[in-house]
């Protein structure tokens, strides 16, 4: 009889996890127990099977404790309603309002505020020449203490110089500040999402577990016909759900 393969073991363990035999946070059987269950004497086959499950994002190894089924707690991000001030408590940002309503503790760390030449893709979104000076505000967002997203927001420097947006300080609502600086309301936003695997630097920045994808979201905010802010978000795919209400006719 041919020896069981690593892929066969991984597929069977996946089935058992999905069937609820091993619920989230449950410890998988020990190496010795799994070898007996699957009739193999090869530790390498078992190691390869667990690697397949790690890459699939189903399990996580904890040094000195064992291998556990991964638990996912996802924050629901409502792309349709989150920027409507009428849909959230006064003085709260969209992320703050959403996380508080879902029982998630949000942290926001302002990492840097700098003036830099516009990269080509950001310049195109803002309809300015490449190299135009922009103010960039960089944030790291944590959810229940875990790094969960980064956000780099770009503004035309000539429009925001001298305002709080250009200074190294937290702002309760940067959009309210931007509307006040421009003297005109912000009217709509466009979002484009791309799911992909992270770069090594992104894995480190978000402390991503093996097999975790990221979602790169580019949001362009307009005041009337004029784009006035571009934000590049990078989301830990294991922490987020994205919801949109799409009209039909």
Calculate the CA dihedral of residues 36, 58, 204, 136 and round it to 10 degrees: 180
Residue pair 218/55 in contact (Cβ under 8 Å)? The answer is no
More confident residue, 137 or 31: 137
Partner residues linked to 219 by β-bridges: 191, 231
What residue has token string 């509307």?
179
Q: Is the CATH number of domain 75-243 3.40.1410.10?
A: yes
Residue 120 and residue 198: Cα distance in Å, rounded? Answer: 22
Contacts with 57 (C-beta within 8 Å, 6 or more apart), sequence order: 70, 209, 210, 211, 212, 238
Cα of 223 vs its chain's centroid, Å: 26
Q: Tens of pLDDT along 35-92?
A: 999 998 899 999 999 988 988 778 888 888 999 998 878 889 988 888 888 778 877 8
pLDDT at 12 over 60: yes
Instruction: Identify the pLDDT of residue 2.
Output: 67
Q: Which helix (H) or strand (E) holds 46?
A: helix 43-55
Got the DSSP string for 163-222? Answer: SGGGSSS--S-HHHHHHHHHTS---EEEEEEEEEPPPHHHHHHHTPPTT--EEEEEEEEE
Q: Tens of pLDDT along 75-86?
A: 899 888 888 887
Q: pTM for the full model?
A: 0.80
Residue pair 212/198 in contact (Cβ under 8 Å)? The answer is yes
Residue pair 196/212 in contact (Cβ under 8 Å)? The answer is no
Domain residue limits, the chain: 6-69, 75-243
Instruction: Identify the pLDDT of residue 91.
Output: 74
Q: Is the CATH number of domain 6-69 1.10.390.10?
A: no
């Amino acid at each position: 009889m041919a020896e069981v393969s690593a892929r066969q073991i991984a597929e069977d363990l996946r089935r058992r996890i999905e069937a609820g035999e091993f619920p989230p946070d449950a410890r998988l059987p020990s190496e010795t127990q799994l070898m007996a269950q699957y009739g193999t004497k090869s530790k390498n086959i078992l190691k390869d099977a667990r690697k397949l499950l790690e890459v699939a994002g189903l399990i996580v190894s904890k040094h000195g404790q064992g291998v556990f089924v991964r638990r996912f707690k996802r924050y629901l991000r409502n792309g349709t309603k989150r920027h409507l001030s009428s849909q959230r408590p006064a003085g709260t940002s969209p992320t703050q309002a959403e996380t508080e309503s879902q029982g998630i503790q949000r942290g926001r760390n302002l990492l840097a505020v700098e003036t830099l030449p516009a990269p080509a893709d950001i310049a195109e979104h803002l309809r300015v020449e490449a190299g135009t000076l922009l103010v960039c505000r960089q944030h790291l967002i944590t959810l229940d203490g875990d790094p969960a997203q980064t956000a780099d927001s770009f503004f035309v420097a000539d429009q925001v110089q001298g305002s709080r947006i250009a200074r190294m300080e937290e702002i309760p609502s940067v959009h309210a500040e931007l509307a006040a600086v421009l003297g005109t309301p912000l009217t709509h936003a466009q979002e484009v999402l791309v799911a992909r695997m992270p770069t090594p630097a992104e894995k480190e920045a978000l402390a991503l577990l093996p097999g975790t994808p990221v979602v790169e979201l580019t949001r362009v905010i307009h005041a009337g016909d004029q784009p006035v802010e571009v934000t590049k978000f990078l989301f830990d795919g294991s922490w987020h759900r994205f919801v949109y209400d799409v009209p039909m006719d």
